[in-house]
Amino acid sequence: MPKKTIWMTGCTSGLGRALVDEFTAAGHTVVGCGRRSELIEQLQHAFPSPHFFSSLDVAEDDQAEQFCREAYEATGAPDLLLNNAATVNEPAPLWEISAEEFDRVTAININGTANMIRHAVPMMIERGKGIIVNLSSGWGRSTSPNVAPYCASKWAIEGLTQALAQELPRGLAAMALNPGVINTRMLQTCWGEHASSYGDAESWATTAAPFLLGLKVSQNGQALSAP
């Protein structure tokens, strides 16, 4: 398989961090970002150039713009853009969730995805090829109580991706991906000790990474589920 340049948000923990190991081990170039600067520094040390890691909050458009500009200078446009960064609310009925917490969930999960698309996709269009994968959720296609903000954000990702797929020029494609149920910190927030009944991110990444690398432009607009 030809080596690819992969840009990924939310690379410091969970699914994103596990994918870093899989992609780099296979010889691909990884460009990653996350909010925790100390974890980004660890990635910079572990994976030096040609890889590129930077700390930022994707919910801030100016930070996303700067990141994309610096990443482009380091690696060129991405073959694969993975919008993975997300957060979840503390479980509670919707009317008990503060406006600040609701806004934070939607700012990262929806706005953060749109911010990356706004600045990275024109680079991909100029190159004439590339695939965008926006991480959705089972809660982007169904619902559960006490996670209404998260459900709303992931349903939004499904709609955003469908519209984006209709807008992209030939050579580019966008898909929404439900990764499945994996024992991450986010799942532990929602399910507590019951999260341990599910496989970990590292095991998930061993099959998810080749699946992502094998996506084709002909799959544009599809709502996918990881194997």
pLDDT higher than 70, residue 216: yes
**25-53: string of b/e by CB count within 10 Å (b at 16+)?**
eeebbbbbbbbeeebbeebbeebeeebbb
Q: How do residues 97-154 score in pLDDT, each as one tens digit?
A: 999 999 999 999 999 999 999 999 999 999 999 999 999 999 999 999 999 999 999 9
pLDDT higher than 80, residue 195: no
Q: Domain with 90 in it: what CATH number?
A: 3.40.50.720
Residue-range definition of the domain harbouring residue 106:
5-225
Q: How do residues 33-69 score in pLDDT, each as one tens digit?
A: 999 999 999 999 999 999 999 999 999 999 999 999 9
Annotation says 72 is catalytic: no
Annotated active-site residue in 72, 150, 155, 204: 150
Q: How do residues 14-33 score in pLDDT, each as one tens digit?
A: 999 999 999 999 999 999 99
Total domains in the chain come to: 1
Tokens for 117, please give them.
């698309």
Sheet holding 29-34, edge to edge: 52-55, 29-34, 5-9, 80-83, 130-135, 172-178, 223-225
Q: pTM for the whole thing?
A: 0.95
Decide: helix, strand or coil at residue 183: strand
pLDDT higher than 90, residue 78: yes
**Contact, 209 vs 26, CB < 8 A?**
yes
Q: Say if residue 169 is preceded by a cis peptide, omega within 30 of 0.
A: no
Decide: helix, strand or coil at residue 13: coil
d(CA 15, CA 140): 17
Q: How do residues 200-215 score in pLDDT, each as one tens digit?
A: 999 999 999 999 999 9
Q: Taking Cα atoms as reference points, which of 65, 81, 171 lies closest to residue 119?
A: 65
Interacting residues of 62 by C-beta distance below 8 A, sequence separation 6+: none
Q: How confident is the model at residue 187 (pLDDT cuts 50, 70, 90)?
A: low
Beta strand 223-225 with 130-135 is unpaired
Please name the amino acid found at residue 159: G
